[in-house]
Chain A
Amino acid sequence: MQRVKIFDHVILLMGVFIMVGPLVVALMTSSHEAADIHRNGLSILPGGHFVDTYTKVLTKEGGFTGKITGLRMMMNSLILGIGFAVGKIALSMLAAYALVYFRFRFATILFWMIFTTLLLPLEVRILPSYEVMTALNLTNTYTGLIVPLLASATGTFYFRQFFKSIPDELLEAARIDGAGPFKFFIGVIVPLSKTMMAAIFIIMFVYGWNQYLWPTLMTTDESFFTLVRGIKQILLVWVGSNIPDYNEAFALAILAMLPPVMIVMIFQRWFIKGLTESDK
């Protein structure tokens, strides 16, 4: 039997405290009134306004035009997150499929070109990207929000490595079985990549969900605002004797965190499999 080691547990508990502590504080503080928070600071004990605050955050029509609700922002964030994840998976799988299974000139050079250029963060190419999107009249659209960020070096790289680990004989068997490139992709490659797709989905969903700069640039219409922007918006009312709605900001932060957490929890088993399993 393994001895229970107290010191190990102390370390674990400290880790838990450091990571979960701020979240608990945020959750608890969000259930107080804004004035209380302004007067007493953060609190770790629940206040009495939990339900009010969250109902208000989700349904109150706010913002500059007074038409945007928390629910709407949440939906926008979801569209962005899922659109990102699905689009990136589709695009990078196709790119990796072409790179691994089709012999064309300069394939390796092309791959490294894609890889190095896309390693540059969005911020580096944000102005040209913005220019292109305005020229195409895609500002204030979901297309404009999602499409420019779809090309993914990380995704392409992961899928390329994964496809390379699939034995060649499988391709050969499929060729003898009369499966063309399309049938092989749909019938063999896609089902085999399930765990990999789950892993990439999580990473990309969270990435899309947390986007701030690009949506800020691309959308001026409030009906396209995402949760992450909403939080910022609430704290912007610091004028005159107004007290910012701290409680609402905290509530939004908690809400903004929930979907990624849920996604990670649901996909976690596949996620770990996808990143570690290669015995295909």
Chain B
Amino acid sequence: MSAINITNVSKIYAGGVEAVKSVSIDIADGEFIVLVGPSGCGKSTLLRMVAGLETISKGTVEIADRIVNDVEPAERDIAMVFQNYALYPHMTVYDNLAYGLKNRGTPKAEIDARVAEAARMLQLEQYLDRKPRALSGGQRQRVAMGRAIVRKPAAFLFDEPLSNLDAKLRVSMRGEIKQLQKRLGTTSLYVTHDQLEAMTLADRLVVLNGGEIEQIGRPLDVYHTPASTFVASFIGSPAMNLLRANREGNRLHFGSQTLEADRLAALPTDLTVGLRAEDLRVAQAGEQSLTLKIDYVEELGAQRLVHGTVDGKPLTAALSPEIDLGETIALTIAPSRLHFFDTTTGKRLTRLTDTSSVIREQVAALEPAIS
């Protein structure tokens, strides 16, 4: 079994900068975990501490039930895929794949067999005699993955492996990584700043901000119930709209405009309301609505993003391209789709216990993640 347990891990650099603040993650055997966050959030540092390329200031990292804080990277039974591939430029693809095995004194026949297997899996067979410079970006990426696979490690560590590829290749490589990981069943820790990659690859994703965990959860749970305004604006594209509102009973006042929802009694009177762009729709006659003053429109083909202001505050709505747009548009949202956050801490606020089916579903969906 090769679970990874990260317990209260901190990284403090000389000079007192705390890049990672007491982070704990338990990764089950075979699980695909994605660390996601903006640049400088400590996600790469955390990964490098697991890899053994950075020392661990505080806390412990366990790989396969063995504390590896003071173990050399080569002895940790992990393999890493780097952003710039880090292939040895003077070696052929074969030698690149075989180098790690040779250093471990693996018998020649076994090396041949493992390299052949990895090359077949990644469709690299006809390139084995080439040097990396004679390969395209996608092929180099595959060689980098092959170098990880041949080692048959307990865990794969990916450090933004797709960010040097063009958009189209990125999508196809994303699929390949996912399939490969499912097929091999190897525990994986994957770092990215791209929320789309995080959503599509992860079994569970970990949102990091300023060296701290904002939320851990399955991609859809994180998307539907973001734990804070940070997660809400980071996961999902376009970002969730966040508007300050005053609550009076069950009425929410956005400046001069008002929406009515239900079961808001437990919430503070001053709060931040989150509205997903894709949950907004054009209001029918007689429905309660917010009036959006349109600034500009982004055409995406399948939908269009309408950017504008509600009472002077920016708001984006994802609407169908068939809708005619004027100067302003009346938008509405199902009350159950509203998210509420504390204005000062940014933490998610829950409404009164309710029996609405939507919430019941959400709670049910959350349970496996909590336990």
Contact = CB atoms under 8 A, between A and B. Distances in A.
The judgment on whether A and B are partners is: yes
27 contacts: A167-B86, A169-B82, A169-B84, A169-B86, A172-B51, A172-B86, A173-B82, A173-B86, A173-B88, A175-B52, A175-B73, A176-B52, A176-B53, A176-B78, A176-B79, A176-B100, A177-B99, A177-B103, A178-B100, A178-B103, A179-B74, A179-B99, A179-B103, A183-B103, A188-B88, A191-B90, A192-B90
Contacts of A194: 90
A125 interface: no
Interface string A176-194: 1111000100011001101
A12 B293 CA distance: 71
Contacts of B90: 188, 191-192, 194
Nearest to A172: B53
A180 to B, nearest CB: 8
A192 B89 contact: yes
B103 A176 contact: no
A127 to B, nearest CB: 45
A185 B182 CA distance: 37
Contacts of A183: 103
Q: Is the interface of B mostly helix, strand, loop or mixed?
A: loop
Contacts of A169: 82-84, 86
A176 B104 CA distance: 11
Contacts of A243: none
Contacts of A172: 51, 53, 73, 80, 82, 86
Given A183-B103, A187-B99, A176 B89 contact: no
B99 A176 contact: no
B299 interface: no
Contacts of A187: 99
B72 interface: yes
Q: Is the interface of A mostly helix, strand, loop or mixed?
A: helix
Given A169-B84, A187-B99, A177 B89 contact: no
Given A169-B82, A170-B86, A280-B89, A175 B53 contact: yes
Contacts of A173: 80, 82, 86-88, 147
B89 A178 contact: no
Contacts of B80: 172-173, 176
A179 to B, nearest CB: 5
B6 to A, nearest CB: 18
Interface residues of A, number: 18
For the side of the interface on B, what is the size category? Answer: 20 to 34
Nearest to B87: A173
A34 B79 CA distance: 75
B57 to A, nearest CB: 17
Interface in A140-186: 167, 169-170, 172-179, 183
Interface string B65-81: 00000001110001110
A176 B84 contact: no
Given A192-B89, A280-B89, 13 more contacts: A169-B86, A172-B80, A173-B88, A174-B88, A175-B52, A175-B73, A176-B51, A177-B103, A178-B103, A179-B74, A183-B103, A187-B99, A191-B91
Contacts of B99: 174, 177, 179, 187
Contact of A178 (B74, B83, B91, B147): B74
Contacts of A175: 52-53, 72-74
A175 to B, nearest CB: 5
A167 B84 contact: yes
Interface in B2-59: 51-53
A174 B100 CA distance: 8
B356 to A, nearest CB: 51
Nearest to B133: A279
User: Which of A170, A192, A280 is the most central at the interface, judged by chain B CB atoms within 10 Å of its CB?
Assistant: A170
Contacts of A167: 84, 86
A178 B51 contact: no
Contacts of B91: 191
A169 B78 CA distance: 16
8 nearest CB pairs, A to B? A178-B74, A177-B100, A169-B86, A178-B103, A173-B86, A191-B90, A169-B82, A176-B73
